[in-house]
Amino acid sequence: MTAASTPELEADRQRLIDLIKAEAVFHGDFTLSSGKKASYYVDMRKLTLDHRAAPAIGRIMLDLVRDVDGIVAVGGLTLGADPIANAVMHESARSDAPLDAFVVRKEPKDHGRGRQVEGAEVSGKRVVVVEDTSTTGQSALKAVAALRREGAEPVAVAVIVDRKTGAQAAVEAEGLQWLAAIDLDDLGLQPQ
């Protein structure tokens, strides 16, 4: 995404970029959830759970998915997607098209109703998977697979920060739309 849809939302996006640069980019030797090695780590949980950033994340991500036709809920693989989905849900409650949120467990529960997808009823519904950052897209695609087993129709994956390392191609290969609010160029970083 090169810019948000309004000057106010673009100002939110620029403030979020500044916060990410100042507080969520760490340099060193890191192993990503994909198993890949990296010399920097973008720790978006530091900001998705921060009172200064979460409201803007809700507005920015809602703006990002606003044109995806017919969606009724957002969510993704726990833990990274949970605060994003909740921020979008709360922000959307002020609009004429409120969205619900869902959580995709890494594995189905072995007790109770044995569900893997909690929250909004997703069967037969168009939904968007959200994620904080994405390297290979595998976390998002794990959520997509669980949603499809539940009878949902995932139509897009929306990320706050695209690491530009193959996630978009993997997601699009599954027939899903790829949406990103911020990429490495915005953060002055190079793909790894």
Check the annotation: does 138 bind a ligand: yes
Check the annotation: does 92 bind a ligand: no
CB 156 within 8 A of CB 136: no
For the chain, the helix, strand and coil percentages under 3-state DSSP, each to the nearest 5: 35, 30, 35
Check the annotation: does 31 bind a ligand: no
CB 180 within 8 A of CB 170: no
Check the annotation: does 136 bind a ligand: yes
Check the annotation: does 186 bind a ligand: no
DSSP code of residue 30? E
Check the annotation: does 139 bind a ligand: yes
Check the annotation: does 6 bind a ligand: no
Check the annotation: does 164 bind a ligand: no
Check the annotation: does 109 bind a ligand: yes
56 Cβ neighbours under 8 A, 6+ residues apart:
12, 13, 15, 16
CB 153 within 8 A of CB 126: yes
Check the annotation: does 165 bind a ligand: no
Per the annotation, binding residues are 105-106, 109, 111, 131-139, 163
Per the annotation, binding residues for 5-phospho-alpha-D-ribose 1-diphosphate are 105-106, 109, 111, 131-139
Per the annotation, binding residues for orotate are 135, 163
